[in-house]
Amino acid sequence: MAELGAAELAQLVKNLDDSKKLIFQSQFGSEKKDRGTATILALFLYDRIWLGDIGLGVVKLITGGLCGIWWLIDVFTASSRADDYNRQKAKEIIDALSVGHSAATLPSGS
């Protein structure tokens, strides 16, 4: 999938108010992963661990990237996995902010 761009981020946060958009930008900015860093880490077998896939990352390290085959594939796919990670993280943050928004608008008598 393509890189998570400004237009897609704007679409994701369109239903948030301004204060929640600021919170989103702060949280997403601190949690997003860089595509170039993911590719560089793939060269050294650490990309999966950095992207949160600890189990497969450890297996990859122990097996030497399955004798280089898995390593070669990951070098070419690390940036797209970073994009997938960023998309998922953005959706998680928006979901958390939306739940907070829904709870704040419930009537106090219920």
- pLDDT, one tens digit per residue, over 21-51 is 999 999 999 999 999 999 999 999 999 999 9
For residue 100, the model assigns a pLDDT of 65
Lowest mean pLDDT among 1-5, 33-37, 44-48, 99-103: 99-103
* pLDDT for position 106: 44
Residue 45 makes CB contacts below 8 A (sequence gap 6+) with 57, 60, 61, 64, 65, 71
Q: Higher-confidence residue: 102 or 16?
A: 16
**Gyration radius (Cα) of the chain, Å:** 18
Query: What letter does residue 70 receive in the DSSP assignment?
Result: H
pLDDT band at 6 (very low <50, low <70, confident <90, very high): confident
Q: Report, as an integer, the average pLDDT of 62-67.
A: 92
